[in-house]
Amino acid sequence: MNRHTDRRSNAARAALWLTTVVLASSLLACRSTRKQPEPAAVRAQASGAPAPPEPADRYEIIEHLDRCEVIHDGPVIPTESRTTRAREGYSVPTAGSDSELVDREGGRFLRVFARRLSYDFWLAHAQTGVRVRARVHAEGATRISCYVDGHLVGTSRLEQDETQIVSVTASKMELVPGRHTLLLRFVRSRDLARDRPHAELEWVNVGEPTEEAAGTYDAPTPRKMVVDVEIEKQPRRSIVMRAPAMIRCPVFPAPDAVLRVSLGFWGAGTGTAAVRVRAADEPSATVLERRVRGGSDAQWVPLEVSLARQSSGLATLELEALQSSSLGRVVFGDPVLVRSKPRRLHVPPARVVVVVIAAGLDRRRIPPWAPPGKLVDLGELAQASTAFAGYRTPTSVPAGVAASLLTGMSPREHTFDDPSARLPSAVKLLSSLVKEGGGRTAMFTAVPSTFSAFGFNVGWDRFEQFSPVRDLPATEALERGAIWLRGQLRAEETAPSLLVVHTPGGHPPWDLTRDEARLLPPDDYAGTLDARRGGIELARLRALEGSRRRRLSEDDWIRLHALMDGALAKQSASIGHLVEVIERADAWKQTLLVFMGDVAVGDAPKVPFDPIGHLEEDRLLTPLIVRFPDGKFGGAIVSSQVTTADVTATVMKALGLTPPEWVDGDDLYVRAAGLRPLVGRAAVAALGDRYSTRLGNWLLRGRLGRKPSLCASDVDPACLADLFDRDWLAAPALWFQTVRALEPRGAAGSPPAREPASIDPDTLAALTVWGSVQ
């Protein structure tokens, strides 16, 4: 290859899950019938017309208002918001909770059946004195008590079957910037029916004591703030606020992001509007401030504000009504973020798409992150490709990563976030979507976790699996893939081809002879790691959890890396052969080639290649290099954060297909061109009820139902300091992005039923040799 210039777990636990699967598969005959939207994979028309702008080039603030915080005499917590309900207990809301919402007297109320209801909120500034106000319709409760951080603010009496605004005050209570917890406690009458809710709650406000009477306070909720306002006979969908009030939206803006908004005043009188953008550690600086008039003098005042200065990190975008007459509201019409210079970019069309997934890679040993060494062909491919240094896998289960690639879904959506599951039968793979668009597809796998027993064989024109038990080279899947692709390229029909190969990569057993292994460092190695039995030996070490014998010695690690490099060198040569097949068919210029890892090896002192590893960065950061059809961006390294769903979207777009609505991914070609998402997007990895969310240098980790931890990895790589209680901007921003990523997007509004894998004897033997079972 140039030749071209363009060019926590352990094995005992694994055994337990496998035994459970074998037993469960004989008892469970029912399969999930999860419904999915009809596929939207439609062949693009070859009209020659320019492609439409990327959806990510426009961010409607009103459409994402639930990500923002409303401030009006302190934080306003609207109970109708799904994001608000995620503040309660750090769990993911489901559609079942929507049934508890009722419309009453112009508002939307949450029915409260529990005696206690708590919400977390964050303050950007210190606060002296606390006043809690809430709009409540009493049902079974006769009193409500309000606590902040465990301290009683006050108790108020509730009038049965009446809607009222309750207000309690603790004038001497002081709150520091950061996270606080509000607790509402209801006391009900013993005479009322037990199945009757305690109360219905529309909103809660936590602020400083003021002279304003409680009954006159009207909290701005998203339901009341979003209004179609017509000024100068020009209607605009708007955010309206009575001063003093503000919405504060967390953003990680792209350097070319621009806010466009039209300011106005709705009603009689005048008002003052302000737009601010600031980082968490900066004082609030007004970017723009305008006086607006209502009545017969009303007019739209267009503004354009660049967010380039805050593009290096997390910031807040604040739209504030500083002053308004009592008979009117300040209006922010059609607020939207756009690019300063829109660019119509999209991945060029491809006749051939090849995706090579390599198991068990250490990115630091793969070009371009390391010198090519013996990986000559991979090195040449890296020179012709774009390396995505910000790529992060969506789970630490290898098959779960492959499932996300082939479906475009997150692990919680396709349910494959543990190695004993299988892809649900109702989930459509790329194989089917590409065939519906007129293409041909094939998958060849030498990794047991993506065998047919786990549901990866569905929809392909050709599917083959190669067990490590058989006496076959580790390059067999790549070579068979090259043969299939050669046949497709020789065919008279010009249907696009998708080839997916899951190769062993650096994972044991390693394809090296005893003579080859004998020459590897360190000299006179006396450890137990053997090329053919390496997976079994590592599984045995993982089973010795807590034992001193569990750790690998320094010599063991040296030998392990040498075995990985030796085995990968042979696969690198097969990738070079695959490229030659494409070149000889004169299809290289029309080829999209992706080389990526599934899950990383893991660092010492943990035993590597854990089949159910923890959600640590040493498991989630794997290589991703993409060679685009037009050969652009060769040798570039892109730091922008990208996900597996982005690979799925890019593959489909290159084949002329429109990704279905469930594929939440961006075009990697656009990222390679240097265009970041307008407001930033967190990369969320999940494993069961655990999650790990990264946004820039911020890292949020936790378990659903418990308070997470937050750290800034640029200044605290070991994440020793937990900033979740102190950081008023990053903590809620990352948590709410986590919720949006983990909550199901399907019509049912709840996670689909998980399907267990059915393990046949051959697959069991392959998993044993692979090291997934002791």
- pLDDT for the residue numbered 744: 66
Strands 591-597, 352-358: pairing kind? parallel
pLDDT at 92: 82
pLDDT of 210: 79
Peptide bond into 419 cis (omega under 30): no
Q: Which of 78-92, 96-110, 608-622, 699-713 has the lowest mean pLDDT?
A: 96-110
Give pLDDT tens digits for 648-660.
Answer: 999 999 999 999 9
The closest alpha carbon to 22, from 767, 761, 758, 754, belongs to 758
Label residue 774 by pLDDT band (50, 70, 90): low
Where residue 216 falls among pLDDT bands split at 50, 70, 90? confident
Question: Are residues 662 and 678 in contact, defined by beta-carbon separation less than 8 angstroms?
Answer: no
Average model confidence (pLDDT) across the chain: 88
Which uninterrupted H or E stretch holds 703?
strand 698-703
| pTM metric for this prediction | 0.89
> How confident is the model over 154-166, as a mean pLDDT?
94
Residue type, 61: I
**8 Å CB contact between 642 and 624:** yes
Model pLDDT for residues 269-297, shown as the tens digit of each residue: 999 999 999 886 676 666 899 999 999 88
Residue 752 in this model has a pLDDT that exceeds 90: no
**Which residues lie closer than 8 Å to 506 by C-beta, 6 or more apart?**
358, 359, 360, 361, 362, 365, 564, 565, 567, 568, 601
The β-bridge partners of 339 are 257
Mean pLDDT of 10-25: 42
